[in-house]
Structure 1
Amino acid sequence: TDNKTHIVMGWLLGHSFDLQENLEGQLLSAVLLENSASPLMRALETTDLGHAPSPMCGLEDSNREMTFVCGIEGSEPERRADLEQLIESTLQKVVDDGVSQERLEAILHQLELHQREIAGDQFPYGLQLIMSAIAPMVHGGDPVELLDLEPVLATLREKIKDPEYVPGLIRRKLLENPHRVTLTLRPDEKLEGRRQQAIKETLARRKAELSDDDISHIVQRAQALEERQMRKDDDSILPKVGLEDVPLQMPEPEGRYDAETGATVYSRGTNGLVYQQVVLPLPALSKDELLLLPYYTTLISEVGCGELDYLQMQDRISAESGGIGASFTAKGQIDDVQAMAGYLIFSGKALSRNSKALTRLLKDVYTGARFDEKERVREIIAQIRARREQAVTGSGHALAMGAAAQGVSSGAWLSYRLGGLAGIRGTKELDQQLKDEAGLADFCGKLAALHNRIRSQNRQFLLIGEDDQLSPMLDELGTCWSGVSAEGEGNWSMEPVSYNTREAWLTSTQVNFCAKAYPTVAVDHPDAAALTVLGGFLRNGYLHRAIREKGGAYGGGAGQDSVNGVFRFFSYRDPRLAETLDDFDAALNWLYSEAHEHQALEEAILGV
């Protein structure tokens, strides 16, 4: 339990449906916590009172009354007063020193960008707007007013011209606000034992009080519940969507290739935003270099660049873009999951008026990122460790599936080593190694060497914007990147992976996550579509009832991963272990032995 305490401070603010109050809260949160150059975030990242800033940091505006929260994780209970003093002194310093006009303009730039962006990665944009309008409607506000922030942003632009405006917000909403609480969450190794003992004692007491009639009644109710779980519902009374309502072909945007710049260009309605990517094949990396990639892609936008240190770069990124980052993707061929190819992608977005600045920003990071700010690197790795450890309970089913599938294909192995349970263990070991100065210097040197190899690769570009924005973007791209050489070297590949896995991992969670994996086929195989439908068919027909309704887990299911050629069963927050693994096998027996209706198959197809 050492260094596992979570300490946060919270303030109660105004009504979330009051747009002026809401945007002032967002402005306040961004000034203090937006990135590592923000004063409060910097204080929480660099203090030795805890391991990392709390993931709860920021403004919570989904309730009727908003809350502003900040704090740390990986601390000790006796450090509460020190943390309060740190936060209060940091807030007072911001009040005394003020905030530069350039910084405030950059924050309003971010608010405008988020207001304009049409994002649809999770569900349709129209549905996102409806969901965002629900909260103010429930709490008594105007849901339509919330969808147009331009008038309030214009008012804020005038208010921030007063140098006392933001210090006044911090003083009024935080420093002088009596509606404040400090919460300390301390781990207790004996807590679960006391809970279980209390449950046992309560059940024993209740059982001793039962009469014969009470026992008979409980048995009857249990039988009735089982009968109800097994009974087929009459879903004909519900509205129905059929296969005929779903188009066979998804609409695909048409792009064009510009040979002079090596850019693929798409003209789309973006509501005044532009998107850019730099795509390059991964060089032939060793295993050790490959394991550096998750840290490299996280750090690349968090460190200094050229003559700017990391704090100055954070301010530049905020002022010129809606965010930049790097990612790594590796996939097999459509007909062979073992034939891997990998790519690194540098990406960014910005308002169209900043498209030139975005191009230069991506080029500068690509060519000039530095890994010599050793303390900054150590801080980010500590934060990565904290986030990964925290994610175990929430993502336990995905981690279990990754562990079960690790030997099925090279892509599954790579996911397990970089982002799975083995990756989490590796991050913990790395965090310990970086406490030694020699280990930290060696790690930073390896990152710099990896960056030098990556930036020498041949590259391509992807540009997305509205039609009138594309020609200037192409011109700037050609001008900006014309002097950047790219010799290119051999591309990365992996040896095939195939072995069986029978593992159990122990972690600090009160529930279990079970998984079982079978090697299957790649996406181009005729069976891939049927296997994709099979996941939903097994979940709806058998697994939900067996694992959730009867077994008591929060959830369970199955699915085909055609990218890695594996079919996986899983359970989520499960009180059982071996019984759930038996249910996975029983699901296949049910599939073979039972007669199935066409409607169930149609529902599974519609669910894909």
Structure 2
Amino acid sequence: MTSLTDQNNPGLNAGDTIGGYRVLRVAPLREINAVFYELDHGATGARHIHISNKDTENTFGVGFKTVPSDSTGVAHILEHTVLCGSRKFPVRDPFFSMLKRSLNTFMNAFTASDWTMYPFSTQNRKDFYNLMDVYLDAAFYPNIGRLNFKQEGHRLEQEEDRLVYKGVVYNEMKGAMSSPDQVMSRSLLNALYPDTTYSNNSGGDPADIPSLTHEQLVAFHRRHYHPSNAFFFTYGTLPLRDHLAVIEDRVLRNFERIDPKTDVPAQPRWQAPKTVRYPYPLAPNEAPEKKYQACVAWLTADITDSFELLALSLLNEILLGNSASPLRKALIDSGLGSALSDGTGFDADNRDTMFACGLRDVTASAAPQVEKIVFDTLNGLVRDGIDPELAEAAIHQLEFHRKEVTNTPYPYGLKLLLSFSGTWFHDGDPLSILEFDQNLQQINDERANGPFFENLIRRHFLDNPHRVRFTLAPDQEMARKEEERVAAELAAIQSGLTGTETEQIRADADALAALQEEGEDLSVLPTLELEDIPPLTLSVPAGPSRGTFPATWYEQPTSGIFYFSAAAGLGRLPEPLVHLIPFFCYALTKCGTARRDYTEISRLLDRYTGGMGLSAHARTRFDNSGKCLPFVTFSSKALVRNQGKMFELLDEFLREFSFGDMNRLKTLFLEYRAALESSVVRNGHSLAISLASRNFSVPRHLDEIWKGVHQLKTIKAITDTGEEAFRAAADDLATIGRHLFTRDNLKIALIGEADALAAAISPLDALMGGLPAGNTDGFGSPDLAPGSDIPREGWSTSTAVSFVASSFETVRMGHEDAPALSVISKMLRSLYLHREIREKGGAYGGFSLYNMEDGLFCFGSYRDPHVVSTLRVYENAGEFITSGAYTEEDVKEAILQVCADIDHPDSPGQAARKAFYRDLIGLTDEARNQYKAGLLKLSREQVMAVAEKYFGKTTRPQAVAVISDEEKLKAANEQLGADALTLHRI
């Protein structure tokens, strides 16, 4: 799009008025073939940005500046509570109910340090306006009931003879503040911004949450969730005029302008740096000596200064972006720690931006040494100059990611909103963030005239006294002391209660329980119908073969980017090497080659590609055999002008890989271990499901070996053993490479536009021709067997909450019962588990999953205050789903949810890659469409029949795994008696 012509909004220009809106600006976004519109609403001051293009995944969002003055979690609890019913939709949870009545591709809500946002995306016009109606009513006209506040925020309840705190956000934040990375990020804000809203924990500190009152919550909504404090965003193909008419009719015409007083002042700058130390909880059975984190952090530019933000983003890439980046390399090469500290990097989310860098897994006294390394490195760069190739690589990465359109991890429209929302919310220019050519040209001009990035280092780091030397310290008594504090606080409250107050607590608990069990009329909510579902799934056909060697070619509109994907079979890999496959994938492109060391290769990767990486997969074939298919994927992408360089690098990695640099290999093992350890609490639900499922099949067995707790145990064993283990691992990794990278063991896909594919024929032939032949059966099934027992286990780690999982076998996709099992998984989650585990139990979430590939059915909970009661909920799930206590409408809603998953949109490159891997595992388009047809024909009677077969009186062996605190697991075992869990430590 080279002009302002916009077929979605013809004739709309700057200066036009639409209802109560005035169009302030219209501008082309040529890189993404879109048009930018900025508007404001005269009567209320509401702001609106619309980005129009050909993307049918239309996005809506409304955001509010939310500036808490304490750590009670008021903004976070409000985010939850406004979604518990509104004026037009007075049902208990319209947001969750709309997940069932929609084909949305994304629905969620976010609370950041100084804003709250409610976004969604969908490909269906009717669905878009259904969801907008619900979102607008929830945000501007919520009921904010007292009982909803108690459910979502906090409440007192009597359990036996003692009081306890309950509440979804209360338990969520207990879990969050058990995680070192969460503690680190929130503590850095507290340290650097002591005089502004960022010093508070916007999510809520569990110690402060119980002091928030319902009246304070209502007052916070009244001021912050007002159109005068609102920022609306729309994106996609739907006409802007229609959006504006709905928003004005539903909301804006009912309000008058106010001053919400939500401006965030700049943090007053210090005249001298500070040294700070914050604690985090560590389990008593873990060694604390090298569990500290140390970093240096600065306050940098104002978020509205788009030029300085772009410059600092590029500087961040120069200093830390890859293994060869000078600050990253200096810190890692010091050997003081295992990996960069949590929170490292440039953070442009707050009014004053910040930059931090340091190390994790250091000793208690390491902070001064870390600070010295940081300043020695920065001084050296200013003195000696930054290698111009580092700056060119950083600019290339910026160009690549600007050009690439993906919907991972969020829909592309939402990614655009998040890229400029911080600047927009603080009255900066959002267009300057999206269209930064002028700022980039100024940077290049200044680079040509002098030491631009060196001066940036001097200004923001060397000469900037607003910095902290920060230590995050493990405290093995912290969790116990917090439990004692809470117990004493509750005991004091209980001793001071009058009889009337005690009765009120009981009455509130009874009223909330009644509300949670109460039937409700969901017909007030809008919904889609089955006829709104596309009958066929998206198909991406491959093109004709080209060149000498077999490959799959996909001609796709990829906006000037070329994609390479390969799969290497693992079916005949010797069993002793299997455990190292994930680390092989992690390390291959970070280790260097026989020709170049890791620093040179890292620079080349950043200079000429958009990334190159490997990952391990254990899949189940979709044919009748259902055998295991393990393989490694090797993928890369590049701007078309650089695809020749990309092939040269691919050839170097495939033929000249090397793991001989022992210092580098040891560093990578420690980094990899640190990443695995930090993910335990964050991904506890997934890890618990993997533990429970590991003995049902070979693919699940491999998944646990590669991605579960047992992978962490493998890496711990190597890193705890020492040099001999590293040398042995180097030999094993080289053996894996020789086994994988043979001509007959690679299946290749190439994806791009016609000219790019034509240009790829010769380099692909050269790449494949240079590889040795051999290993023709790599895509066979491995000679491995899972354990024979059905696990019933508890795994302990440092966490204030639990993750509870259970798994059992059903049937696979080809079976006639598979569509009904998919629907049952959605119905159990929405009609049963959500109520029992989240609303009643106070966990952040409870869910059920049916995997049509291997037929495993799983239950899971996330940030759960319970263990035993959650297991009881799982045990009673069969009774619920076989009871028939649901309607044809409930079945229809579950079908909508399953189809929303199936029809999730992909960018052209992603769609082709998925088609390639579907072909690899034998999942045909015919089978996918047959499965979808079965879904669309399902009735309540069919669902009940399948429910009886798999959830009825016939007992199927169910595996159980729980990740929790050791004391909680022991307490659970006392209740479980003969069904006690076998306990392990992570």
Q: Same fold (TM over 0.5)?
A: yes
Pair 1:572-2:862 in alignment: yes
Moved more, 126-135 or 275-284: 126-135
The match for 2:813 is 523
Match of 2:417 in 1: 130
State the partner residue of 1:105: 392
Question: Distance between the aligned counterparts of 2:535 and 2:639, measured in 1?
Answer: 35
2:372 is equivalent to residue 85 of structure 1? yes
Aligned-pair CA distance for 1:185? 1.4
Aligned to 1:454: 740
Shift of 1:142: 2.7
Could you tell me which amino acid in structure 2 is paired with residue 89 of structure 1?
A: D
Structure 1 stretch 585-594 or stretch 21-30: which is displaced more? 585-594
Counterpart contact for 2:571–2:629, Cα < 8 Å: no
Once residues 126 and 21 of structure 1 are traced to their aligned partners in structure 2, the CA distance between those partners, rounded to angstroms, is: 25
Q: What is the RMSD of the two structures over their aligned residues, measured on CA atoms?
A: 1.8
Deviation at 1:187, TM superposition (A): 1.2
Letter in 2 for 1:404: A
Structure 1 segment 531-546 matched on structure 2, within 5 A: 531-546=821-836
Aligned to 2:248: none
1:536–1:146 Cα change, 3 Å: same
Segment of structure 1 superposing worse, 312-321 or 178-187:
178-187
Q: 2:668 aligns with which of 373, 380, 399?
A: 380
**Distance (whole Å) between structure 1 residues aligned to residue 673 and residue 523 of structure 2:** 50
Quick one: which of 23, 34, 52 aligns to 2:321?
Answer: 34
Cα distance in structure 1, aligned partners of 2:820 and 2:861: 22
| Contact 1:261/1:474, CA 8 A, preserved across alignment | no
Shift of 1:169: 0.5
2:585 maps to amino acid: T
Identity among equivalent positions (%) equals 32
Q: Which amino acid aligns with 1:424?
A: L
Q: Give the drift of 1:595.
A: 2.2
Residue 281 of structure 1 corresponds to 569
User: Following superposition of structure 1 onto structure 2, how do residues 106-255 of structure 1 map, counting pairs within 5 Å?
Assistant: 106-255=393-542
Partner SS, residue 794 of structure 2: coil
Alpha-carbon displacement from aligned partner over 1:457-500 (angstroms, at most 9, x marks no partner): 41232111122322112233224443333233432523454541
Distance 1:561 1:3, change over 3 A: same
Shift of 1:583: 0.5
Structure 2 Cα separation of the partners of residues 104 and 111 of structure 1: 11
Q: CA deviation at 1:569?
A: 0.4
Match for residue 267 of structure 1?
A: 555
Displacement of 1:529 in angstroms is 2.1
For the Cα contact (< 8 Å) 1:257–1:263, is it kept in 2?
A: no
Alignment of 1:560-599 (within 5 A): 560-599=850-889
Tell me what 1:328 maps to.
616
Asked if the contact 2:297–2:357 (Cα under 8 Å) also holds between the matched residues in 1, the reply is yes
The answer for the alignment partner of 2:648 in structure 1 is 360
Tell me, yes or no, if structure 1 residue 444 matches structure 2 residue 734. no
The reply to whether residue 600 of structure 1 matches residue 890 of structure 2 is yes
Name whichever of 439-448 and 151-160 sits farther off.
151-160
- Please give the per-residue CA displacement for 1:22-70, whole angstroms capped at 9, x wherever unaligned: 1111111111101111111011212232222113211111223221111
Between the aligned partners of 2:766 and 2:737, the Cα distance in structure 1 is: 23
CA deviation after TM superposition for structure 1 residue 144, in Å? 3.3
Instruction: Tell me, yes or no, if the aligned pair for 2:605 and 2:612 is still in contact at 8 Å.
Output: yes
1:402 alignment partner in structure 2: 690
The aligned amino acid for 1:542 is: Y
Query: In 2, Cα distance between the equivalents of 1:183 and 1:142?
Result: 33
Alpha carbons 2:617, 2:703 under 8 Å: kept? no
Q: Structure 1's 354 and 487: CA in aligned 2 closer, same or farther, altered over 3 A?
A: same
How much does 1:153 deviate?
2.5
Aligned length: 606
| Matching residue's letter, 1:256 | G
SS at match of 2:470: strand
Instruction: Report the Cα distance in structure 1 between the residues aligned to 2:896 and 2:410, rounded to whole angstroms.
Output: 16
Q: Encode CA deviations 1:116-146: one digit per residue, 9 max, x unaligned.
A: 1111233432343234343332222233332
2: distance between equivalents of 1:275 and 1:452? 24
| Equivalent pair of 1:401/1:515 in contact (CA under 8 Å) | yes
Partner amino acid, structure 2, of 1:447: L
Judge which range, 47-56 or 300-309, deviates more. Answer: 47-56
Task: Indicate conservation of the 8 Å contact 1:338/1:411, yes or no.
Answer: no
In 1, Cα distance between equivalents of 2:370 and 2:625: 50
Distance in 1, matches of 2:401 and 2:684, equals: 31
Aligned to 1:550: 840
Deviations, residues 530-587 of structure 1 (Å, cap 9, x unaligned) = 2222222111111111111211211111101223321000111112111110110112
TM-score by length of 1: 0.96
Q: How big is the shift at 1:157?
A: 2.6
Shift of the 13–86 alpha-carbon distance from structure 1 to 2, 3 Å rule, reads: same
Give the one of 309, 316, 320 matched to 1:22.
Answer: 309
Equivalent residue letter for 2:801? V
Q: Once the 2 structures are TM-superposed, how far is the Cα of residue 361 of structure 1 from its aligned partner?
A: 1.0
Could you tell me how far apart the structure 2 residues matched to 1:336 and 1:2 are? 53
Deviation at 1:283, TM superposition (A): 5.2
Q: Cα distance, 1:200 vs. partner?
A: 1.3
Decide whether aligned partners of structure 1 residues 17 and 525 sit closer, same or farther in structure 2, where only a CA change above 3 A counts. farther
1:456–1:486: 8 Å Cα contact kept in structure 2?
Answer: yes
Map Cα deviations across residues 184-222 of structure 1 (whole Å, 9 max, x no partner): 111111111111111111111111111111112222111
Work out the CA distance in 1 between the residues paired with 2:801 and 2:450. 52
In structure 1, the partner of 2:158 is none
CA distance in structure 2 between the partners assigned to 1:101 and 1:512 by the alignment: 49
1:417 aligns with 2:417: no
SS in 1 for 2:322: coil
How far, CA to CA, are the matches of 1:510 and 1:295 in structure 2? 30
Instruction: Provide, for residues 85-109 of structure 1, a one-character-per-residue CA deviation record: whole Å limited to 9, x for no partner.
Output: 1111111111111112222111100
Query: Which has a greater percent of helix?
Result: 1
Instruction: For 1:160 and 1:271, locate their aligned partners in 2 and report how far apart those are by CA, in whole Å.
Output: 29
TM-score by length of 2: 0.60
CA offset at residue 336 of structure 1? 5.3
For residues 523 and 154 of structure 1, the distance between their equivalents in structure 2, rounded to whole angstroms, comes to 54
Structure 2 match to 1:339 = 627
Q: Report the Cα distance in structure 2 between the residues aligned to 1:63 and 1:589, rounded to whole angstroms.
A: 49
Deviations 1:341-371 (A, max 9, x none): 2222221111111011111111111111111
